[in-house]
Amino acid sequence: MTVELVFRIAAIGLITSLLAQVLTKAGREEIAALATLAALVIVLLMVVDLIRDFFESVRTIFAVY
């Protein structure tokens, strides 16, 4: 896991938090919830990619087919 990925996830979280606060203050709670959900999906896709790479490495190391 690289530090760059951790910073990306943190940046996505900060931007999403700010966006959700602004949208909530403007009375757009539904859009704030959708923005938060979209950010969650993006981060989960990033994590799923890491997990896939991890299992590929395990498969390669132990020669599991």
Residue-wise pLDDT tens digits, 1-54: 689 999 999 999 999 999 999 999 999 999 999 999 999 999 999 999 999 999
Q: Token digits for 53?
A: 């790479």
Count of the separate structural domains present in the chain:
1
What's the pTM value of the predicted model, to 2 decimals? 0.80
Cβ proximity of 44 and 13 under 8 Å: no
**Could you tell me the residue range of the domain that residue 47 belongs to?**
3-62
